[in-house]
Amino acid sequence: MSNETQKPVIGFTCGDINGIGLELIIKTLMDQRILDFCVPVVFANNKCLNFYRKSIPDSNFNCTNINQFSRLNPKQVNIYSVWEEEVTITPGELNETGGKYALKSLEEATKALQEGHIHGLVTAPIHKKNIQSEDFKYSGHTPYFKTFFNVKDVVMFMVAENMRVGLVTEHVTVEEVSKHITKESILSKLQIMQQSLQKDFGIDKPKIAVLGLNPHAGDEGLIGKEEIEIIKPAIKEAKNKALVFGPYSADAFFARGMHEKFDAVLAMYHDQGLIPFKSLAIGEGVNYTAGLPAVRTSPDHGTAFDIAGKGKADHTSFLAATFECINIIHNRMGHADRNRNPLRKISARMLANAVDERIEENEG
């Protein structure tokens, strides 16, 4: 990172070009204050961005096209041209084109992240079905990055101002969940979460709560044995190195506000963690891949084909993902003094409201 600017270079993938990804990028980056905090690089194509700019009546999206990172402009949004050919965009349609160019953007951006041309990456939503190919046989971004960076394990870590939730299993069918709940997997996830809370979020002695798998955390073995045979032994062993507590009954845990007493929560499966997270994260939820050597964040939602191309997408979560990416980079570099961090003076929601007001003024 340049000593002159101290601004990290943040990459943005376009996601499915028929979804809301490019609209989210435009709405996030057209507020000039973003340039005070980072140097944005969008891995896409200028013509695709122009297609979606038409539905967003604002003239303050200043960008420059580059084909090499030595020509980055710190005062504008940089568009790194991943493809030159004409692409037919059909907002709201699930087709091969959307997946093909989402993968092109992702591959180029991930390569740039690995090589150090960018310091962090914010990924726009992909559709898990149409991106499948010989080069992408994953259930989502998280396993893709795990494989690309060749790490033993990662955690899908959902973070917001008021809560953090990690998952033992991610995109696994309910039928298969219990097969993946092992003492080893729980210990691995807890170790990654603890290290991330310390290194990425600046919490010296994090407290982590662990949820049970079964209703009422098994009711002492009456409703399932996983808590007694797997989860409790894992917690007991983890306590040798971390402040870990549980297992807690998932239904009562969030309803009683118990998540507020911990720095993070480890849920056993996708919906157990994400339903309360999305309900309580006040629209600013971020998906962070903990355990990678690099920093990757994303919004906590999907492609939203139903509103694609209509200028209706709410970019609050995408803006929060951008801020979180920058904050984690600074924390990793030792810039963890949050009282001096200007990002904390402008919240994601404040910037989102400011952009929305500008759009309404132009429409009026």
Phi, psi of 292, rounded to the nearest 5 degrees: -90, 155
Q: Is 192 part of any domain?
A: yes
Q: Is 29 part of any domain?
A: yes
Q: Which of 302, 299, 15 is nearest to 131 (CA)?
A: 15
Q: Is 204 part of any domain?
A: yes
Residues near 131 by beta carbon (within 8 Å), at least 6 away in sequence: 16, 99, 102, 103
Q: Which of 123, 71, 131, 68 is nearest to 101 (CA)?
A: 131
Does 117 share its domain with 249? no
Q: Is 286 part of any domain?
A: no
Domain that holds residue 17: 1-151+292-364
Q: Is 315 part of any domain?
A: yes
Q: What is the pTM of this model?
A: 0.90
State which amino acid sits at residue 309. Answer: G
Task: Establish how many alpha carbons lie within 13 A of residue 10's alpha carbon, considering only the half-sphere containing its beta carbon.
Answer: 34
Does 256 share its domain with 325? no
Per-residue model confidence (pLDDT) at position 60: 74
Look-up: residue for tokens 């980056």?
Answer: 29
d(CA 206, CA 197): 7
Boundary-marking domain end, from 280, 310, 341: 280
Does 135 share its domain with 43? yes
d(CA 34, CA 65): 18
Give the number of domains in the chain.
2
Does 321 share its domain with 245? no
Does 345 share its domain with 308? yes
Does 102 share its domain with 206? no
Boundary-marking domain end, from 229, 256, 280: 280
Per-residue pLDDT tens, the chain, 364 aa: give them.
544 447 999 999 999 999 999 999 999 999 889 999 999 999 999 999 999 998 887 657 788 999 999 999 999 999 999 999 999 999 999 999 999 999 999 999 999 999 999 999 999 999 999 999 998 999 999 999 999 999 999 999 999 988 999 999 999 999 999 999 999 999 999 999 999 999 999 999 999 999 999 999 888 888 899 999 999 999 999 999 999 999 999 999 999 999 999 999 999 999 999 999 999 987 689 999 999 999 999 999 999 999 999 999 999 999 999 999 999 999 998 844 444 444 444 555 555 565 556 555 555 5
Residue by residue, what is the 3-state secondary structure of the chain?
Answer: CCCCCCCCEEEEECCCCCCCHHHHHHHHHCCHHHHHCCEEEEEECHHHHHHHHCCCCCCCCCEEEECCHHHCCCCCEEEEECCCCCCCCCCCCCCHHHHHHHHHHHHHHHHHHHHCCCCEEEECCCCCCCCCECCECCCCHHHHHHHHCCCCCCEEEEECCCCEEEECCCCCCHHHHHHHCCHHHHHHHHHHHHHHHHHCCCCCCCEEEEECCCHHHHCCCCCCCHHHHHHHHHHHHHCCCCEEEEEECHHHHHHCCHHHHCCEEEECCHHHHHHHHHHHCCCCCEEEEECCCCEEEEECCCCCHHHCCCCCCCCHHHHHHHHHHHHHHHHHCCCCCCCCCHHHHCCHHHHHHHHHHHHHHHHC
What CATH number has the domain bearing residue 212?
A: 3.40.718.10
Residues near 328 by beta carbon (within 8 Å), at least 6 away in sequence: 120, 200, 201, 288, 295, 297
The neighbour count for residue 11, using CB atoms within 10 Å, is: 26
Does 16 share its domain with 78? yes
Phi, psi of 20, rounded to the nearest 5 degrees: -95, 5
Boundary-marking domain end, from 280, 306, 333: 280
Residues near 323 by beta carbon (within 8 Å), at least 6 away in sequence: 37, 343, 348
Q: Is the dihedral of CA 188, 189, 190, 195 positive or negative?
A: positive
Q: Is 143 part of any domain?
A: yes
Does 326 share its domain with 204? no
Q: Is 230 part of any domain?
A: yes
Does 61 share its domain with 85? yes
d(CA 123, CA 141): 8
Per-residue model confidence (pLDDT) at position 293: 97
Does 104 share its domain with 183? no
Residues near 218 by beta carbon (within 8 Å), at least 6 away in sequence: 212, 224, 225, 226, 227, 228, 247
Does 4 share its domain with 137? yes
Residues near 128 by beta carbon (within 8 Å), at least 6 away in sequence: 139, 140, 171
Task: Establish how many alpha carbons lie within 13 A of residue 256's alpha carbon, considering only the half-sphere containing its beta carbon.
Answer: 9
Does 213 share its domain with 273? yes
Q: Is 205 part of any domain?
A: yes
